[in-house]
């Protein structure tokens, strides 16, 4: 067995709780076929960058606002990925839409975690707390999280893993968001990263 690992970039925008789950699971050996070698944020103030630095992971900031166009923004991302030999991209709370021009370059090499059981409460406009507000408004008794491949359709790529979470009486969107994170996102995102990394290694 070669000890080579798939080089992973994690794209972040905010606090980086999913990134932290990935870092922790890498340390504990759940993620063994891949290694996080770069964390990219579109937000220079993202606490996720601090988490990456604390774990000695290289960081970079690429701001959409400071790019003249979507093409320039994505071009800068591609340059960074190429320079660092990145083979797998994980979107962990990344608040920028990536165009088809970008996603088509990385077929089945971009994965995202979404805080619902796709195809419920997903697609355009469904992100962050909005997802949990919609689930509660609709009155579903079970929600959860989905890890899927990213293509040109928001939340439209092939599903890799899902985990269900019960909705409880009296849940607020914030309480539900936390339960879905702890009981679903932080469990299946690292598992999916390992699964995809292992498949990529084996197909080399």
Q: Show me where the domains of the chain are located.
A: 6-202
d(CA 176, CA 197): 30
Own/partner contacts of 17-20, CB < 8 Å, gap of 24 or more, are: 17/93, 17/181, 17/186, 18/92, 18/93, 18/113, 18/181, 18/185, 18/186, 18/189, 19/48, 19/51, 19/52, 19/92, 19/93, 20/51
Per-residue pLDDT of the chain (204 residues; tens, 9 = 90+): 456 999 999 999 999 999 999 999 999 999 999 999 999 999 999 999 999 999 999 999 999 999 999 999 999 999 999 999 999 999 999 999 899 999 999 999 999 999 999 999 999 889 899 999 999 999 999 999 999 999 988 889 999 999 999 999 999 999 999 999 999 999 999 999 999 999 999 998
| Residue 114 designated active-site | yes
For the whole model, what pTM was predicted? 0.95
List 114, 130, 132, 148, catalytic entry: 114
CATH number of 6-202: 3.40.50.170
DSSP 93-116: S--SPPPHHHHTTSTT-EEEEESS
């Amino acid at each position: 067995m070669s000890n080579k690992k798939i080089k992973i970039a994690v794209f972040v925008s905010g606090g980086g709780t999913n990134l932290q789950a990935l870092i922790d699971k890498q340390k504990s050996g759940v993620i063994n076929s891949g290694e996080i070698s770069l964390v990219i944020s579109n937000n220079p103030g993202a606490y996720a960058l601090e988490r990456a630095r604390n774990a000695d992971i290289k960081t970079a900031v690429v701001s959409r606002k400071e790019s003249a166009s979507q093409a320039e923004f994505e071009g800068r991302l591609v340059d960074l990925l190429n320079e660092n030999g990145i083979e797998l991209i994980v979107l962990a709370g990344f608040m920028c839409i990536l165009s088809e021009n970008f996603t088509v370059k990385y077929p089945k090499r971009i994965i995202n975690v979404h805080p619902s059981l796709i195809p419920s409460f997903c697609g355009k406009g469904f992100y962050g707390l909005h997802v949990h507000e919609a689930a509660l408004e609709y009155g579903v008794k079970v929600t959860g999280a989905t890890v899927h491949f990213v293509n040109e359709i928001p939340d439209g790529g092939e599903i890799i893993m899902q985990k269900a979470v019960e909705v409880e009486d009296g849940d607020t969107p914030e309480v539900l968001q936390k339960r879905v994170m702890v009981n679903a996102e932080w469990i299946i995102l690292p598992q999916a990263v390992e699964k995809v990394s292992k498949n990529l290694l084996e197909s080399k």
